[in-house]
């Protein structure tokens, strides 16, 4: 075996030279027969040695031949060259590369004249030629020894043979091949010859001086067309004596061979020579059998020597290690510029396996260390340097095995090919590795099914010796997503190959649109790293392609990409289950507001250990209405039971969270007081309480107050006295309290609150329906916002109070349009209502058509149908007769105006620029003394105000315009908003951050700008609240230019019950 690092320097990448006669444990250049003993003449003619360096005496004949057979079935790709070679078994096999053409050279024995011939085939454009005989005139070939490619790329062939003209001795036509005397003479004349391949064929063979009686040889090329040959000589040419075989060395200086010099001289037996050129010197390693019988166990050592370019011995011969082994066949190579040897150690006790050991030449050979790999009987192998990795391909029993060293650690790559005795009888084999990790294996032999003619087979296997970046399973985080979330893709990237990957990029895209990317400096073989990619989830579903882009060659580009779908999955939840009489109401929603597919809602009655499905309904997320089930048998049930409601357990729309898909209504007989009626008329106050529970109650306590804090308190408040705190008898589940109107005298407050069982003296099932609120003033019973045609609430706007729209709407123009994130704390009455995503209504909703977008929320009862037109009790505008005189208030000034008729009014018109602090125009203020005013129009410039010092009525024939940060309303916070009455024949427009506090009626529209504020009551043809605008329907509250701080709770909404009326 020869291994040379110099070959890669001349473009002959990673060439392996395997001599065919090298069987497991054998030497280079000798064929192995299938029997232990050969006839002397056949032995001489074939140069076959039954006591050859192969351990035949340690094995049965079948075992000896096992590694000479190969199974060609099941290969990824192979080529069978139909090149019959009539005659006897083939001999040695040599593989090499020459001028970009792969050539195979082999020899055979002729039938008649015992003359061996060398044949070779060439490969051009993917096709192999038929075998071509190498012609050597006047030269008798006795065997192949080795072949190497010199530094110029010129192949040198080393052969055994002689150039004696035996016809002159015996005469022509004699049976020379059968004469023992002739055979002995031929053995005595056998020596080494070299020949070069050129454009005109092979050169005339030249003998190596001192090689007479050579048995085998190892040839190694060096720089400057130099080469070194190490060969064994049999001193007495008697194969029966084995202790007289020594090693010799000869150097080729580029022109001629130097005379051979004895290298070893001892009674032992040297064989299995491995040579290499490493770090400026030739290195040889061989096996020495101490007693030369190849039978004694544990008496073999590894020996070595190093040589200068001229063949001078610089170190050795000396032991690589003094430890003796059973079969230490060396595989020689280099790593990091140093020679190292792999060999099989002694068998592990109780097993048939041996540790594969490694030693390195660094001045001296290191103590052999285990590689971590277990082997059987290593016969021969080749070491390749492939980038930063080191590969060894070796024959182990019946297998051709590959292993790789990454960063000092050996890893087995597994069996490349298994040999078999059943399909193809292998004559000899050779393998090479190119720079693309293609392992080429050549074999010659006789197919079992053929007619005993020799054939040549060639096949290739690609070893994974490149980097191989692979994208693993991708984990998106968080698992529960919604649109707008920042998602993190954790991308595991591994290098499954044999070389460091170099830098690479990892990216994620959707439909070719890049979303995120990351850079990594690279991975070592076997190393993995998780790369995080972050981007914003822009829509409900992304079909993502995650790709790694290597900076160099990659073994398997198919595993560089991974596709993953990231979806915002719905999250259906049953948020509550309530019961009114025999009707069950389940509030179901998609918390993600992304679902479009209806899902099932099942109602299950559970009584003890028995469960019964009593209803199967459907929830449509596109409408998002509560799911109702009327179950009459509930009216007669007096024992405990549970109603379980399950959503999406049969339709199975994929969700992130199924834990909230179940809720229940638990029935335990209990009292449940309902504040059913609270009316304050000009004559009396009437309160009606009903017990809608399942347990009878004889009496109920009722509290009346105008203090909202006391109405919501679970206990008496010291120092706060209610108007009434009275216990009432109940008859047929109903209690009625009627009091004279005079009980309210002396109690301030616009609203009247009534609470049943205020402090929880009687245990109840539900206390959320125990309170109601009503206006103390019958004149204020109309809604706080009332439009003739339409009300529109822009995103984020807020209304505290009741709303109503008189006329019917259309599908394209709803009567009430509540924008995203807008909120109404009060009751709503309108023909067509549309709630945009996340809009909320806390009070009763009466309608004929309701569209509720995903995420919209209704707390109060739903009432339908609704009678249209919707009454609003809005008085008609009186006659408006303005005067002629214009009223102007300059910036930075104030003016007081008595009641009367005037023309146009402009506050903040004219005057100076910004105030002294640079905060915009200085304020202007017009103060009305009180009474009735008639104007042609009213204009308030930025930072300008119109205040009523006492109750006043403003009648405006034209429009009212309030610019940025302006205001119109009572002069002091102690005055109620309704103390200012604004009657407008035109339109009312409020700019951003402006304020209006009044009881306003307009023939045209009323528009409140961005973040504007209004309070009191408004009636107009159309009403629009801009984004972030706020309206408080509390007549006591004066609008300000700061956000509303108080929220009026509609306690009569029967929150969460969804109770129809």
pLDDT confidence bin for 670, thresholds 50/70/90: confident
Domain limit, last residue, from 548, 567, 586: 567
Q: What is the CB-side half-sphere exposure of residue 655 using CA atoms within 13 A?
A: 25
Q: Residues 724, 725, 729, 733: what is their CA dihedral angle, to the nearest 10 degrees? A: 90
Cβ atoms 648, 594 nearer than 8 A: no
First-to-final CA distance of the chain:
101
Bigger pLDDT: 964 vs 553: 964
Decide: 673 and 691 in contact? Cβ < 8 Å.
yes
- What's the domain count of the chain? 6
Residues 6+ apart with CB under 8 A from 1056: 576, 578, 587, 768, 859
Look at residue 951 in the predicted model and tell me its pLDDT.
Answer: 92
Give 984 or 316, the one with higher predicted confidence: 984
- Model confidence at 358, pLDDT cuts 50, 70, 90, reads very high
The predicted model gives 269-295 an average pLDDT of 89
717 in a structural domain: yes
Q: Which helix (H) or strand (E) holds 1016?
A: strand 1013-1025
Q: Which of 1027, 1002, 1026, 1003 is nearest to 1016 (CA)?
A: 1002
H or E element that contains 169: helix 167-170
Lowest mean pLDDT among 115-119, 495-499, 546-550: 115-119
User: Within this chain, do residues 159 and 186 fall inside the same structural domain, yes or no?
Assistant: yes
* DSSP letter for each residue of 377-432: -EEEEEEEEETTEEEEEEEETTEEEEEEEETTEEEEEEEEEE--SSSEEEEEEEEE
Position 203 scores a pLDDT of: 83
Confidence check: pLDDT of 1008 > 90 = yes
Whether 435 is in a domain gets the answer yes
Tokens of 101: 């053409």
Strands 354-362 and 338-344 come out as antiparallel
Write down the mean pLDDT value for the chain.
Answer: 77
DSSP 8-state class, residue 870: P
Please give the pLDDT value at position 458.
Answer: 54
- What is the per-residue pLDDT across 284-320, written as a single tens digit (0 to 9) for each? 999 998 887 777 888 889 999 999 999 999 998 999 9
| CB-based contacts of 100, cutoff 8 Å, min separation 6 | none
Q: Are residues 117 and 38 in the same domain?
A: yes
51: pLDDT confidence band, cut at 50, 70 and 90?
very low
Q: Average pLDDT in the 614-641 region? A: 89
Are residues 360 and 368 in contact, defined by beta-carbon separation less than 8 angstroms? no
Range 77-85 average pLDDT: 33
Amino acid 68: pLDDT: 24
664-678 average pLDDT score: 89
Does 505 lie in the same domain as 611?
no
pLDDT at 387: 57
- Confidence bin at 1061 (pLDDT 50/70/90): very low
Query: What CA–CA distance (Å, rounded) separates 667 from 584?
Result: 12
Check whether 617 has a pLDDT greater than 80.
yes
Q: Which residues of 547-584 are buried (b: 16+ CB within 10 A; e: fewer)?
A: bbebeeebbeeebbebebebbbbbbbbbebbbbbeebb
Among the ranges given (51-65, 243-257, 626-640, 1015-1029), the one the predictor scored with the smallest mean pLDDT: 51-65
Q: Check whether residue 328 and residue 476 sit in a common domain.
A: no
Q: What is the pLDDT of residue 18?
A: 22
Distance (Å, rounded) from C-alpha 527 to C-alpha 1041? 64
Local confidence band at 95 (pLDDT 50, 70, 90 cut-offs): very low
Asked whether residue 1042 is assigned to any structural domain, the reply reads no
**Amino acid 478: pLDDT:** 80
Residue 1059 lies in a domain: no
Supply the CATH number for residue 393's domain: 2.120.10.10
Are 493 and 451 contained in the same domain?
A: no
Q: What backbone phi and psi angles, to 5 degrees, belong to 583?
A: -105, 130
User: Per-residue pLDDT for 483 more than 90?
Assistant: no
pLDDT of 404: 79
What is the share, in percent, of the chain residues with pLDDT greater than 70?
74
pLDDT for residue 53: 26
Query: Smallest Cα–Cα separation from 384: which of 344, 333, 346, 425?
Result: 333
457 and 537 share one domain: no
Same domain, 161 and 205: yes
Structure tokens at 933: 């005013």
Question: How far apart, in whole angstroms, are the C-alpha atoms of residue 91 and residue 112?
Answer: 17
Residue 513 vs residue 1059, higher pLDDT: 513
419 has pLDDT over 70:
no
The closest alpha carbon to 657, from 748, 572, 730, belongs to 572
Give the pLDDT confidence score for residue 438 in this predicted structure.
58
- In angstroms, the CA 27 to CA 732 distance is 116
Do residues 1010 and 982 lie in contact, with contact meaning Cβ atoms separated by under 8 Å? no
Mean pLDDT of 409-419: 69
Judged on CB neighbours under 10 Å (0-12, 13-18, 19+), 1049 is middle
| Confidence category of residue 1057, pLDDT binned at 50, 70, 90 | very low
Average pLDDT over residues 136-157: 75
Instruction: State whether 774 and 786 are in the same domain.
Output: no
pLDDT tier for residue 1030 given thresholds of 50, 70 and 90: very high
Q: What does the block give as tokens for 925?
A: 């203020």
On whether residue 830 sits in a domain, the answer given is yes
Q: Residue 451 pLDDT > 50, yes or no?
A: no
Strands 583-590 and 1030-1032: unpaired
Query: How do residues 727-767 score in pLDDT, each as one tens digit?
Result: 999 999 999 999 998 898 888 776 789 999 999 999 998 88
User: 505 versus 401: which is more confidently predicted?
Assistant: 505
Lookup result for tokens 């170190």: 315
In sequence order, the 6+-apart residues with CB closer than 8 A to the CB of 313 are 249, 261, 263, 305, 306, 307
Least confident of 195-204, 431-440, 445-454, 989-998: 445-454
Strands 101-109 and 116-124: antiparallel
Q: What are phi and psi of 632, to 5 degrees?
A: -55, -35
So what's the pLDDT on residue 239? 65
- Which residue intervals of 650-730 are DSSP H helices? 708-712
pLDDT score of 456: 52
Residue 810 gets which letter from DSSP?
-
Tokens 């049943």, residue located: 756
Q: Which two tokens stand for residue 640?
A: 């405990």
How would you write 628-665 as a 3-class SS string? EEECHHHHHCCCCEEEEEEECCCCCCCCCCCCCCEEEE
CATH of the domain at 537: 2.60.40.10
Angstrom CA distances, 580 to 557, 628, 769, stand at 65, 11, 12
Give tens-digit pLDDT for 155-207: 788 888 876 666 555 555 554 445 566 666 666 677 888 888 777 777 888 88
In residues, how long is the chain?
1061
Q: Is residue 869 situated within a structural domain?
A: no
Which of the pair, 913 or 989, is modelled with greater confidence?
989
Indicate if the pLDDT at residue 679 is higher than 90.
no
Please give the pLDDT value at position 408: 77
Structural domain ending residue among the three candidates 447, 462, 477: 462
Strand partners, 399: 396, 418
Name the 3-class secondary structure at 559: helix
Q: Cα(856)–Cα(853) distance, rounded to whole angstroms?
A: 6
Q: What is the pLDDT of residues 212-235, one digit of tens each?
A: 888 888 889 899 999 999 998 877
Contact 458, 440 (CB under 8 A): yes
Which pLDDT score, from 0 to 100, does residue 929 have?
Answer: 93
Is there a contact between 440 and 434 (Cβ–Cβ < 8 Å)? Answer: yes
Please tell me whether residues 29 and 139 are part of one structural domain: yes
Inside any domain, residue 868: no
Among residues 667, 692, 707, the one where a domain terminates is 667
Cα(437)–Cα(385) distance, integer angstroms: 11
Pairing of strands 572-580, 662-667: unpaired
**Helix and strand numbers, DSSP H then E, in the chain:** 6, 82
Give the model's confidence band at 776: pLDDT under 50 very low, under 70 low, under 90 confident, else very high. low
For residue 102, pLDDT beyond 90: no
The long-range contacts involving 907-913, CB below 8 angstroms and separated by at least 24 positions, are: 907/939, 907/940, 907/941, 907/944, 907/945, 907/946, 907/966, 908/940, 908/941, 908/942, 908/943, 908/944, 908/963, 908/966, 909/939, 909/941
Q: Identify the pLDDT of residue 953.
A: 95
pLDDT in tens, 519-533: 999 998 888 999 999
**H helices present in 563-706, as ranges:** none
Region 680-693: what's the mean pLDDT? 87
Q: Distance between CA 5 and CA 279 in Å, rounded? A: 9
Q: Is the residue at 1054 inside a domain?
A: no
Cβ-defined contacts of 663-666 (< 8 Å, 24+):
663/573, 663/574, 663/575, 663/576, 663/577, 663/586, 664/577, 665/577, 665/578, 665/579, 665/584, 666/640, 666/642
Burial 426-445 (b: 16+ CB within 10 A, else e): bbbbbbbbbeebebbbbbbb
How many CB atoms are located within 10 Å of the residue 876 CB? 7
pLDDT at 552 over 90: no
Cα–Cα distance between 534 and 520 in angstroms, integer? 15
Task: Give Cα 363 to chain centroid, integer Å.
Answer: 51
Q: What is the pTM of this model?
A: 0.44
The 10s digit of each residue's pLDDT in 567-597 is: 888 889 999 999 888 999 999 999 888 888 8
Domain assignment of residue 793, given as a range: 782-863
Say what the pLDDT of residue 985 is.
96
My answer on whether 561 and 580 are in the same domain is: no
HEC-encoded secondary structure of 59-95: CCHHHHHHCCECCCCCCCEEEEEEEEECCCCEEEEEE
pLDDT on residue 127: 58
Least confident span in 379-383, 778-782, 998-1002:
778-782
- C-alpha–C-alpha distance, residues 802 and 830, integer Å: 11
C-alpha span between 449 and 933 (Å, rounded): 123
715 and 826: one domain? no
The Cα 420–Cα 400 span in angstroms is 11
Left (φ > 0), alpha (ψ -120 to 50) or beta: where does 892 sit? left
Higher pLDDT, 109 or 644: 644
Are 764 and 626 members of one domain? no
């Amino acid at each position: 075996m020869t291994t040379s690092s110099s070959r890669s320097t001349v473009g002959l990448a990673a060439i392996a030279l395997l001599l065919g006669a090298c069987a497991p444990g054998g030497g280079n250049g000798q064929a192995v027969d299938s029997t232990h003993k050969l006839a002397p003449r056949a032995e001489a003619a074939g140069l076959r040695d039954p006591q050859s360096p192969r351990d035949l005496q340690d094995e049965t004949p079948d075992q000896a031949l096992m590694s000479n057979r190969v199974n060609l079935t099941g290969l990824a790709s192979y080529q069978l060259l139909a090149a019959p070679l009539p005659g006897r078994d083939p001999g040695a096999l040599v593989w090499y590369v020459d001028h970009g053409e792969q050539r195979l050279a082999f020899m055979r024995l002729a039938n008649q004249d015992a003359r061996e011939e060398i044949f070779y085939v060439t490969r051009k454009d993917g096709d192999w030629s038929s075998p071509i005989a190498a012609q050597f005139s006047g030269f008798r070939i006795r065997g192949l020894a080795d072949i190497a490619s010199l530094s110029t790329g010129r192949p040198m062939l080393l052969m055994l043979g002689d150039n004696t003209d035996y016809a002159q001795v015996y005469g022509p036509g004699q049976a020379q091949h059968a004469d023992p005397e002739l055979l002995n003479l031929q053995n005595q004349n056998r020596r080494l010859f070299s020949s070069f391949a050129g454009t005109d064929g092979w050169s005339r063979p030249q003998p190596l001086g001192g090689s007479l009686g050579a048995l085998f040889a190892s040839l190694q090329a060096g720089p400057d067309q130099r080469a070194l040959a190490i060969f064994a000589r049999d001193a007495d040419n008697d194969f029966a004596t084995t202790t007289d075989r020594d090693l010799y060395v000869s150097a080729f200086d580029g022109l001629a061979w130097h005379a051979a010099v004895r290298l070893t001289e001892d009674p032992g037996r040297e064989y299995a020579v491995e040579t290499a050129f490493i770090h400026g010197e030739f290195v040889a390693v061989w096996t020495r059998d101490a007693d030369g019988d190849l039978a004694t166990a544990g008496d073999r050592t590894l020996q070595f020597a190093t040589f200068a370019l001229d063949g001078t011995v610089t170190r050795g011969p000396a032991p690589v290690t003094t430890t003796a082994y059973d079969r230490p066949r060396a595989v020689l190579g280099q790593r990091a510029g140093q020679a190292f040897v792999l060999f099989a150690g002694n068998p592990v006790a109780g097993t048939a396996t041996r540790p594969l050991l490694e030693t390195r030449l660094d001045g001296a050979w290191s103590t052999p260390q285990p590689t971590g790999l277990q082997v059987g009987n290593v016969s021969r192998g080749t070491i390749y340097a492939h980038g930063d990795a080191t590969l060894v391909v070796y024959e182990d029993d019946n297998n051709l095995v590959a292993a790789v060293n990454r960063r000092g650690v050996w890893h087995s790559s597994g069996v490349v090919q298994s040999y078999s005795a059943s399909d193809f009888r292998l004559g000899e084999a050779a393998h090479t590795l190119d720079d693309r990790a293609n392992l080429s294996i050549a074999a010659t032999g006789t197919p079992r099914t053929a007619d005993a003619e020799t054939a040549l087979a060639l096949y290739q296997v690609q070893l994974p010796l490149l980097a191989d970046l692979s994208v693993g399973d991708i984990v998106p985080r968080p698992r529960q997503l919604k649109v707008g979330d920042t998602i993190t893709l954790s991308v595991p990237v591994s290098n499954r190959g044999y070389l460091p990957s170099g830098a690479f990029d990892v990216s994620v895209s959707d439909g070719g649109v890049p979303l995120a990317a990351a850079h990594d400096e690279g991975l070592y073989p076997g190393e993995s790293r998780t790369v995080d990619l972050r981007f914003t989830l822009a829509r409900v579903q992304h079909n993502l392609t995650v790709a790694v882009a290597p900076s160099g060659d990659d073994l398997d580009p198919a595993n560089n990409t991974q596709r993953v779908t990231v979806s915002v999955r719905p999250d259906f939840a049953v948020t509550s289950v309530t019961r009114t009489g025999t009707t069950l109401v389940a509030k179901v929603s998609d918390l993600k507001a992304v679902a479009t597919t209806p899902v099932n809602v099942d109602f299950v009655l559970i009584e003890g250990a028995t469960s019964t499905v009593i209803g199967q309904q459907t929830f449509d997320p596109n409408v998002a209405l509560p799911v109702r089930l009327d179950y009459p048998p509930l009216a007669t049930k007096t024992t405990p039971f549970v109603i379980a409601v399950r959503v999406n357990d049969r339709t199975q729309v994929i969700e992130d969270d199924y834990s909230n898909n179940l809720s229940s209504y638990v029935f335990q007989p209990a009292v449940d007081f309902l504040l059913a009626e609270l009316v304050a008329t000009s004559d009396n106050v009437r309160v009606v309480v009903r017990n809608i529970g399942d347990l009878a109650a004889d009496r109920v306590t009722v509290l009346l107050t105008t203090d909202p804090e006391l109405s919501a308190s679970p206990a008496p408040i010291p120092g706060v006295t209610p108007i009434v705190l009275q216990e009432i008898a109940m008859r047929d589940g109903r209690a009625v309290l009627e009091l004279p109107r005079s009980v309210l005298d002396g109690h301030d407050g616009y609203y009247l609150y009534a609470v049943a069982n205020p402090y929880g003296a009687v245990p109840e099932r539900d206390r959320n329906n125990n309170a109601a609120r009503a206006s103390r003033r019958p004149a204020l019973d109309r809604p706080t916002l009332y439009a003739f045609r339409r009300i529109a609430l822009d995103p984020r706007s807020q209304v505290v109070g009741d709303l109503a729209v008189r006329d019917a709407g259309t599908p394209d123009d709803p009567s009430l349009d509540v924008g995203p994130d807008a909120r109404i704390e009060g009751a709503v009455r309108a023909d067509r209502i549309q709630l945009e995503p996340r809009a909320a209504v806390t009070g009763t909703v009466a309608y004929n058509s309701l569209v509720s977008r995903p995420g919209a929320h209704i707390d109060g009862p739903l009432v339908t149908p609704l009678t249209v037109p919707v009454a609003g009790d809005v008085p008609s505008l009186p006659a408006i007769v303005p005067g002629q005189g214009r009223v102007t208030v300059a910036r930075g000034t104030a003016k007081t105006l008595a009641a009367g008729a005037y023309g146009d009014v402009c506050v903040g018109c004219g005057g100076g620029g910004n105030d002294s602090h640079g905060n915009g125009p200085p304020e202007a203020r017009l103060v009305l003394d009180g009474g009735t005013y008639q104007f042609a129009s009213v204009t308030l410039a930025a930072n300008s105000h119109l205040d009523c010092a006492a109750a006043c009525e403003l009648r405006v024939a034209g429009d009212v315009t309030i610019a940025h940060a302006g205001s119109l309303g009572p002069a002091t916070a102690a005055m109620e908003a309704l103390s200012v009455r604004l009657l407008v024949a035109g339109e009312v427009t409020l700019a951003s951050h402006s304020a209006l506090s009044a009881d306003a009626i307009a023939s045209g529209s009323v528009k409140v700008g961005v973040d504007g504020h209004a309070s009191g009551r408004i009636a107009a043809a159309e009403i629009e609240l801009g984004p972030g605008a706020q309206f408080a329907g509390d007549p006591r509250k004066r609008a300000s230019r700061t956000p509303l701080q108080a929220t009026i709770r509609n306690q009569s909404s029967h929150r969460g019950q969804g109770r129809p009326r």
